[in-house]
Amino acid sequence: MMNKTRFLPVKAFLLAFTFILLQLACNRTPQDGQSTPSVVHIGSPFVAVDFAPYYVARSKGWFEEALKGRGAKPEYISFQSVPPINESFATGRVDFVFVAEPPIIVGKSAGINEKIIGLSCSLVQEILVPANSSIKSIADLKGKKVAVLFGSSSHYGLLKLLKEAGLDSSDLEIIDMAPPDAKSAFETNQVDAWAVWPPFVEQEEIAGKGRVLPRGDAFIQSILAARGDFIRQNPDLTRDIVSVLNRAKQWIRDNPDEAQAIVAKEVNVPLDVVKRAWPRHDWAAQLDEEVITDIQAKAAFLQSNGFIKNSIDVRKDLIDLSFLK
């Protein structure tokens, strides 16, 4: 069982948020017959190295190039938190978002018409501990305080790694913290470990404040999600966006040094942080059966822990591979 004093308020918030999403979805005006839009809204939340294909394509002007031929242009949106992503999908204020899987699973379960149409990359989940900590393995987390953003891929990854080490979540105190708060707590020794994604991991390593535990079999899938109505009404334009994603992924593999420089500038972190994070990302990863199975496991995790009410069949309800062909 989870730490109830922290977990129940999160569940209550998510249930209330789910109701709001359902209302938004039901109140939307159908857009059948809509002409090709003049503006395509593309965004991402947080600061994360795994959005590199998006940063590179935006920096290179490839979205503008792809959309110009269809009389459209991109407008870029930065989300400061996860909830506005699904609200924006529900109200038609965003068309494509580069994000990890859980927010899209939450939205889909709430009745928002969203689809996963591409994969930015796949990366390994890391667990940080202070550099001078006596903790040497996941098993050593027993009785410790661990920070993680609840309902995230890192939360799923933490629980998976604990299970593989023979621990239950009740064997330690798991604390719900967004990255900025968790960073402060980690650096002031208020928590014993932190499950998070790059570049936060590498910032602590390079500063000499943290080190990672031996990695286990837990991954984060960084996806390209799309608004369902948009891709139904604009399949050719959607295919163009996916083509830009794949072009950027190939370019990143061919030009790692330049790609790292672009990402460092886009996320405003030192280049050495990005370089250290780079090998932890698989830029060649695709939406194959292994990745889809992992996303399905995230959906099961979200339902079993009360983050979503309705079950999701990822292959049937959420994944659309037609734009990859």
Q: Given a cut of 50, is residue 224 above it in pLDDT?
A: yes
Any domain includes 273: yes
- 306 and 292 in a single domain? The answer is yes
Pairing verdict, β 145-148 and 193-196: parallel
Phi-psi region of 111 (alpha: psi -120 to 50; beta: other; left: phi over 0): left
C-beta of residue 140 within 8 angstroms of C-beta of residue 192: no
Residue of higher predicted confidence among 259 and 23: 259
Contacts of 76 (CB under 8 A, 6+ apart): 42, 43, 58
Per-residue model confidence (pLDDT) at position 115: 98
SS (H, E, C) 47-79: CCHHHHHHHHHHHHCHHHHHHHCCCCEEEEEEE
Report whether pLDDT(149) > 90: yes
Total domain count, the chain:
2
Residues 314 and 165 in one domain: no
DSSP assignment, residue 93? S
Query: Does residue 162 belong to any structural domain of this protein?
Result: yes
Same domain, 158 and 240: no
Cβ atoms of 116 and 223 closer than 8 Å: yes
Residue 169 lies in a domain: yes
Please give the full DSSP string across 8-22, using - where no structure is assigned: HHHHHHHHHHHHHHH
Please state the rounded mean pLDDT for residues 258-273. 96
Give me the mean pLDDT over the 85-97 stretch: 96
For residue 179 the two structure tokens come to: 């990255």
Type of residue at 124: V
CATH value at residue 233: 3.40.190.10
Specify whether 239 is located in the same domain as 295.
yes
Please identify, among 217, 247, 274, the residue that sits at the C-terminal boundary of a domain.
217
Q: Are residues 156 and 273 in the same domain?
A: no
Instruction: Evaluate whether residue 293 is within a structural domain.
Output: yes
187 and 297, same domain (yes or no): no
33 burial type by CB count under 10 A (0-12 exposed, 13-18 middle, 19+ buried): exposed
Classify residue 232: in a domain, yes or no.
yes
Give domain status of residue 170, yes or no: yes
- For the chain, counts of helices (H) and of strands (E): 13, 11
What's the pLDDT score for residue 33? 47
Residue of higher predicted confidence among 47 and 171: 171
| Boundary-marking domain end, from 191, 217, 243 | 217
Least confident among 15-24, 47-56, 127-136: 15-24
Q: Are residues 14 and 119 in the same domain?
A: yes
What pLDDT score does 34 carry? 53
Residue 214 has pLDDT above 70, yes or no: yes
Are 299 and 153 members of one domain? no
- Residue range 130-152: mean pLDDT, rounded: 97
Residue 54 has pLDDT above 90, yes or no: yes
Q: Does 312 share its domain with 228?
A: yes
Tell me the C-alpha distance between 288 and 146, whole Å: 32
**Does residue 197 lie within any of the structural domains?**
yes
pTM: 0.87
If asked whether residues 173 and 211 sit together in one domain, one would say yes
CA pair distance 295, 221, nearest whole angstrom: 7
Cα 243–chain centre separation: 20
* Nearest partner of 138 among 198, 214, 189, 204, judged by Cα: 214
Of 157, 192, 217, the position where a domain reaches its end is 217
297-321 pLDDT, tens digit each: 999 999 999 999 999 999 999 999 9
Closest by CA position to 22, among listed 113, 114, 115, 111 = 111
pLDDT, residue 216, reads: 82
**Same domain, yes or no: 101 and 241:** yes
Task: Write down the mean pLDDT value for the chain.
Answer: 90
Predicted confidence at residue 21, as pLDDT, reads: 47
Distance CA(293)–CA(291), nearest Å, equals 5
pLDDT tens-digit readout, 8-45 = 344 444 444 444 444 444 444 344 445 689 999 999 98
Q: What is the mean pLDDT of the segment spanning 113-123? A: 98
Predicted local confidence at residue 285, as pLDDT: 98
Residues 92 and 55 in one domain: yes
* Residue 28 forms part of a structural domain: no
Q: Domain range for residue 162?
A: 126-217
Given this model, what pLDDT does residue 87 score?
95
